[in-house]
A = this chain, B = another copy of it.
């Protein structure tokens, strides 16, 4: 008896319980695996920086000086997480922190020269990472996938 037939038999018998929910078919599960795969590809190309750390640097390159909180919003990290990421980048000399002159609550983050040099150098690698992550898909599939993924996120 094939797997198909086996399932149909269970349906008939009203014993589908074990068949109607397959973990490996759920978006959440596959999303998690896709993300894991990406992180692994990232690490293979950029060993000394994590994706969140690179995201912070790349975004700082775009927007220049911002507060820690605002940077967090731009790269989808809550305040507690962003703090850790920025702390580590600061320890490496990639960013520097200054208090906002007017609003003394704010902590302004900006790239150091070294930080800027690092992002510029890494961006070509980041493009390769994106490419490799999407490599199982054809160009047309990539376009479709990115559109739908963005719609969902």
A residues within 8 Å of B by Cβ? 17-18, 20-23, 25-39, 42, 51, 55, 58-59, 61-62, 75-76, 120, 123, 126-127, 129-130, 133-134, 136-137, 141, 144-146, 148-153
The answer to whether A58 touches B130 (Cβ under 8 A) is no
Give every chain B residue within 8 A of A17 (Cβ-Cβ).
120
Give every chain B residue within 8 A of A141 (Cβ-Cβ).
148, 151
Q: How far is the CA of A81 from the CA of B115 in the complex (A)?
A: 33
The answer to whether A23 touches B133 (Cβ under 8 A) is no
User: Smallest distance from the beta carbon of A84 to chain B beta carbons, Å?
Assistant: 16
The answer to whether A150 touches B30 (Cβ under 8 A) is yes
The answer to whether B145 touches A23 (Cβ under 8 A) is no
Interface centre among A21, A51, A120, A130 (most CB of B within 10 A): A21
Q: How far is the CA of A153 from the CA of B26 in the complex (A)?
A: 12
The answer to whether A28 touches B130 (Cβ under 8 A) is yes
**Which of B28, B30, B61, B153 is A42 in contact with, Cβ under 8 Å?**
B28
The answer to whether A26 touches B144 (Cβ under 8 A) is no
The answer to whether A149 touches B27 (Cβ under 8 A) is yes
Q: How far is the CA of A150 from the CA of B27 in the complex (A)?
A: 9
Check A35/B35 contact, CB under 8 A, given A137-B151, A145-B148.
Answer: yes
Give every chain B residue within 8 A of A35 (Cβ-Cβ).
31-32, 35
The answer to whether B152 touches A34 (Cβ under 8 A) is yes
